[in-house]
Amino acid sequence: MKVDLSNDFKEKYRNLMGERSEKLFAAIQEDSQEAFRLNPLKANYQNVSYSLDKPLEYSNIGYFGDINGNSIDHLSGYVYSQEPSAMYVTEIVDPQENEKILDLCAAPGSKTTYIASKMASQGLLVSNEINAKRAKVLSSNIERMGITNTVVTNNSPKDFEKKFDDFFDKILVDAPCSGEGMFRKDPESVEYWSLDYVEQCANRQQHILDSAYKLLNQGGTLVYSTCTFSPEENEQNVAWFLDKYPDMHLAEVKKYLGMEDGRPEWANGNPELKKALRMFPDQFNGEGHFMCKLVKDGETVEPKERQINDGLKKDDLKFVQQFAKTNLNSLTQTNWLKISDFLYQAASLDNRFKGLHILRNGLKLGEFKKNRFEPDIAWILALKPEKLKTVYELTQEQFEKYLHGESVILDSKPDFDNKWIGLSYQGKLFSWGRYSNQQIKNVYPKGLRR
């Protein structure tokens, strides 16, 4: 599909890039590069049906290639489709176990799920999205990937300021932008681009950066990224930020083949801006991106957690323990939290979250119903097979029927008698099944059926 670049866009980049601009315009007309990454939170995570022969140089779980959204690898959270240059943002964040990390503009979840996969279910990740519809997509992607240490919020960045002052060790601002770097991947984005829109985006990004500064702990790291070429949204915003907050400084980031320095001459001439990173599709095998790492001076102060009541009653514990005794090999009670009739393994019990719009706090384990507890799909997607008393491997025919909402009829009485079992296909857990009278009744969520 031909990308129809506006005259304003062409004139702008001819003025900025000279003759090289024609190479950029030509690259925008080429096909976008597809890639995916594996999910090390899953059992035998490299056991996928996609080729791992073309790894990304800068990611030990990223590969060039296209994936099918209906494959078991995708449905079970073993793979995530992500544009190759975008993967490098998480490598710059460099998440560590037991850190407190905020992804302030997180939907649809590409970078958040990558960050979580490197945290190994330790520490706290807060994934925020201001748009309600996109926040739901974010939450569902986190569920599919079996992530347990994340609080998903649907708030304005300013909503965090009074509650989380100097709280986070690392913050990612993958800012909403004019999207110039994605023109060939999303040609429709060209239609709403204008010089005025670029200015609007730059202004909005400054407000987000203001909030991020207040939320970042002393000694913390703020990674700022966009998927646009626009200097107004990139070097100029970073220059503005450094001038406004003199206790912030740019840190070096490693640049691989095809990655380029930031352009001080496109902002205020500050040579430190060379430490930022740019990716142009005429030089790098991916879409257009800008990234930089900013560090806040000072000694880290550990904020004290203000714990809330878990809301659990004696009968609640009894029902969960009965479920576990019958269907699981082991169960550890960690940060259990009851919200309405639902039980969560909470990512945080800190009352700072009170008053925020929370879509998901950690892992949703299940729902309390009359005199019983029923497990949630999120729990099975986060479980390792050895935790379950029974894992039933489906044939291809059974798997396809189950995805359509049909039950599995067994030819003979099986060698298990527990009610709730894990269902697996090609060695990957993807759903609960409810066994009764020689059939596995379908409990796959209707919204996920094919």
Q: What is the pLDDT of residues 196-254, one digit of tens each?
A: 999 999 999 999 999 999 999 999 999 999 999 999 999 999 999 999 999 999 999 99
Q: Is the pLDDT of residue 448 over 90?
A: yes
pTM of the model: 0.96
* Pairing of β 391-393 and β 420-425: parallel
Environment class of residue 332 by beta-carbon count within 10 Å: exposed (0-12), middle (13-18) or buried (19+)?
exposed
Can you give the residue ranges of every domain in the chain? 7-296, 388-450
C-alpha triplet 165, 166, 167: angle, nearest 5°: 90
**Binding residue per annotation — 108?**
yes
Marked catalytic residue, from 177, 201, 227, 292: 227
- Name which residue leads in pLDDT, 312 or 366: 366
Class of domain 7-296: alpha beta
Q: What span, in angstroms and rounded, lies between the C-alpha atoms of 162 and 68?
A: 43
Q: Which of 421, 374, 366 shows the shortest CA–CA distance to 394?
A: 421
Beta bridge partners of 171: 102, 222
7-296 and 388-450: same fold?
Answer: no
Q: Which CATH number fits domain 388-450: 3.10.450.720, 3.30.1330.40, 1.10.1040.10, 2.40.50.140?
A: 3.10.450.720
Q: How confident is the model at residue 302 (pLDDT cuts 50, 70, 90)?
A: confident
Q: In this predicted model, what pLDDT tens digit does every residue of 41-57 receive, in sequence order? A: 999 999 999 999 999 99
**Binding residue per annotation — 107?**
yes
**Binding residue per annotation — 65?**
no
Specify the DSSP element, H or E, that contains 196.
helix 195-215
**Binding residue per annotation — 174?**
yes
Say what percent of the chain tops pLDDT 70. 99
* Pairing of β 100-103 and β 168-174: parallel
Q: How confident is the model at residue 306 (pLDDT cuts 50, 70, 90)?
A: low
Q: Is the pLDDT of residue 307 over 80?
A: no
Kindly state the average pLDDT of the residues 72-79.
98
Six-digit token pair at 17? 């890039």
- Calculate the average pLDDT of the chain: 96
| CA 436 distance to own-chain centroid | 37
pLDDT for 433 equals: 97
Q: How confident is the model at residue 187 (pLDDT cuts 50, 70, 90)?
A: confident
Q: Is the pLDDT of residue 72 over 80?
A: yes
Kindly state the average pLDDT of the residues 59-66.
98
Let me know if 201 is a catalytic residue: no
**Binding residue per annotation — 179?**
no
